[in-house]
Amino acid sequence: MARVISVCLPMWPIDRLRRLADSTPSAEAPLILVGRVGNRRVVTAACEAAMGLGLRIGMPVSKAQALVPDLRVEAADPRADLEALERLGLWLLQRIAPIVEVDPPDGVVIDVTGADHLHGGEEALLEMLLGRLTLSGITARLAIADTWGAAHALARHHRESAACIALPGATAAVLAPLPLTALRLPQATVAGLQDLGFATIGDLMDTPRAPLTLRFGAELCRRLDQALGEMAEPIDPLRPASLVEVRRSFAEPIAAAETIARYIGKLVVDLCTALEARGEGARRLDLLCWRVDNRIETVRVGLAVAQRDPKRLTRLLCDKIPGIDPGFGIEIITLTATLAEPLVPRQASSLLEQAPPDISDLVDMLANRVGHRSVYRLSPVASDVPERSVARIAALSPDQGLGWPGHWPRPSRLLPRPEPIDTLALLPDHPPNWISWRGIRHRVRRADRPERIFGEWWKRDAEARAVRDYFRIEDEAGQRFWIFRAGDGEDAATGSHRWFIHGMFG
Amino acid sequence: MPDAVPRPTVAALRARIAHLEGAETHARAVLPFGVDMLDRRMPQGGLARGCLHEVAGGGGGAVDGAAAACFAAGIAARLPGPVLWCVTQADLFAPGLEQAGLSPDRVIYVEAGDDTAVLACMEEGLRHGGLGAVVADVAKLSMTASRRLHLAAKVSGTTGIALRRWRRQADASDFGQPTAAMTRWRVSVLPSAPLPVPGVGRRRWLIELIRARAGESFDLELEGCDGTGHLGLPADVADRSAASSGRQHALG
């Protein structure tokens, strides 16, 4: 089952203009864009401030200017909007998934089938995407659903949140309450249906198709079937001319894994030749297999550093062949270097020093198998709070040469979050006599003096006075635990004085 | 165990067995622990490199695996090259591992979803050849999987350590199942050495070699890894060493 994200950009022309020139002095003034409809000059887009002042899209400009005295008026430029939308599509193509198509005038559609796990699941993917767009100053609404039509409708007509997920198989249920305008139908058809008393998509689903088709034409049922997933609606992948792409079509569709592997090998060689001509190396590769039944199987691999080594790239791509479902056969295979970077030549070896082993190919392979976030190194952060003292960095980042201050013992395993324990302890600075954790009671035989860790007031206001007293304790069997008391044992404002276990020493 | 008197028949037999097992002809490199009492009892005078080894925690450590992780970190720290550590749950605390000798710059972590994925990543790491050691937290290790890992380690010369760790204490009985690992260790925590002042002394472990190919099992009380990954000999055991080595000679 396919999964499609529809990105709706309701303020796209305004956002584009603001991103172009956000330092103009009158940036705070309400802004409208003006275009021509026939002979009239009308408002084609308005910012939130202008909307708040009562301006509407479609309103004559002279009326808008009369309503709001210091109005900024700019000319609308639909062609530039479309070009910018294509650039946004390219950005999404490079970062999210191999199949992206612009959905003018105000949207982009992304096929994320099988690509979501690399971003940590659908929810994380939507959140990341929304965050990135919002940070760039773009108003966006997102929806993910089984079909383009359903995602398109949800992104534009779902009112509760900016991102919404329709679970697989729930398309009909989520579409039913939406209004007819969500179906991407011509204005006249919607008006005609409304005259007949239809209000929601659910009403249409319950009505026999034949009379509807007779009256409104085939378009209505086609859109309905597309939204429900009963009729395929292929997404034509965006392929800007600037990308390096090689393709191969087959007279006879291919399906066997060995055949696919052989052609991948040939395509990679072609691609590397093309990259070499441009002096570039690939950072991200997309393999698109066009099946005879008009579906596209995709494989995306990423590389930690730019590469142009055919053997290595072939290995990475062939690793993914088991995930390709050839169906009744594959007609066309295309291979694209979605992200390419200039490749800096390096000296292969020198006689004087032994180069450190190159493990970038291993890192790439593991990252493509388990996801790029799951292959990492840890690096010290200057913080006394244990859970903040470690940060994940890229697996191939240069050596930091740093460590943690070693004068206090640290456990080898840290619980994901501190777990509350029962204790008996003398306040303020004695270790407990016993602790009870996960139903097992440990008698404390030895313990270290407390290590006091202060809260970080610059992170959160609530931590301004917070204190934790960490003890290393050892029970009768020799098990060593890291426990702490929230608070300094005297002043209730510093913490709750409850005890927690945080880690285990070896 | 080095023999006092050279026994050519035994040496020839050993060579023949090694040939039958498909071992490479040249002597395999070993990593000595640096503790004489331990190294002397290992078949080749240390931990064989380019092999699969298994380490598990004893008692409650079978679940949290804290001591076993330190033991593995100590071994990995003394091997040259980067270290790949495959886990299913990310609960390793890097500052603690650094105190066992493993600096954060050397370790690449791989977080895989389940045991199968962890083992697959471990095999890739062992096959690659550019790494010093590959450590993996696994619960189940079948004969087939362990043989694959062992062969991968042998081809590339990378040392693999399977850190056996179970979700429940009861599952730890799985440790009795045969695997192709070269050695199998169990590391249990012991009460630390008493200090003259209140406090916790240097950690102490009971290190049991449960199984070793072409070697005998034994157990030893040792002090845990220090900042360079070396194990220590406790003072009271060190005093006893003359007596125990005498016993060794008597047995041999």
The pLDDT score that the predictor gives to residue A25 is 52
Show residues of chain A in contact with B97, CB under 8 Å: 412
The pLDDT score that the predictor gives to residue B247 is 40
Of B66, B104, B198, the CB nearest to A377: B104
CB within 8 Å of A206: residues ≥ 6 apart: none
Domains by residue range for chain A, with CATH: 244-342 (3.30.1490.100), 413-504 (no CATH)
Pick from B63, B79, B102, B108 the residue to mutate for testing the A interface (most A CBs within 10 Å). Answer: B108
SS3 A271: helix
* Interchain contact, A404 vs B98, CB within 8 Å: yes
* Interchain contact, A363 vs B104, CB within 8 Å: no
HSE value, Cβ hemisphere, 13 Å, CA-based, for A175: 33
Taking the C-alpha atoms of residue A200 and residue A174, their distance in angstroms, rounded to an integer, is 11
The pLDDT score that the predictor gives to residue A172 is 87
* Interchain contact, B121 vs A366, CB within 8 Å: yes
HSE value, Cβ hemisphere, 13 Å, CA-based, for B102: 34
pTM value > 0.80: no
Taking the C-alpha atoms of residue B63 and residue A335, their distance in angstroms, rounded to an integer, is 46
CB A420 within 8 A of CB A499: yes
* Interchain contact, B95 vs A404, CB within 8 Å: yes
- The topology (CATH level 3) of B51-193+200-240 is Rossmann fold (3.40.50)
CB A357 within 8 A of CB A363: no
| Segment B132-183, tens digit of pLDDT | 999 999 988 999 999 999 999 988 889 999 999 888 888 888 888 889 998 9
The pLDDT score that the predictor gives to residue A460 is 81
First-residue to last-residue Cα distance in chain B: 9
pLDDT at B248 over 50: no
Comparing CA positions, the residue from A367, A1, A54, A336 lying closest to residue A168 is: A1
Residue type, A339: L
Indicate the pairing of strand B52-57 with strand B159-164.
parallel
CB A185 within 8 A of CB A220: yes
Show residues of chain B in contact with A414, CB under 8 Å: 91-93, 96
Chain A: closest CA distance from residue B138 (Å): 15
Comparing CA positions, the residue from B43, B45, B48, B93 lying closest to residue B73 is: B93
pLDDT at B250 over 50: no
Residue appearing with tokens 């194990």? B231
* Interchain contact, A401 vs B201, CB within 8 Å: no
The pLDDT score that the predictor gives to residue A24 is 57
Which residue numbers in chain A have pLDDT < 70?
1, 21-28, 346-355
Taking the C-alpha atoms of residue A92 and residue A97, their distance in angstroms, rounded to an integer, is 7
pLDDT range class, residue B25, cuts 50, 70, 90: very low
pLDDT at B75 over 80: yes
CA nearest to A506 within chain B: B67
CB A300 within 8 A of CB A118: yes
CB within 8 Å of A272: residues ≥ 6 apart: A308, A309, A310, A313
- Which helix (H) or strand (E) covers residue A74, if one does? strand A72-75
Counting beta carbons within 10 angstroms of the beta carbon of residue A188, is it exposed (0 to 12), middle (13 to 18) or buried (19 or more)? exposed
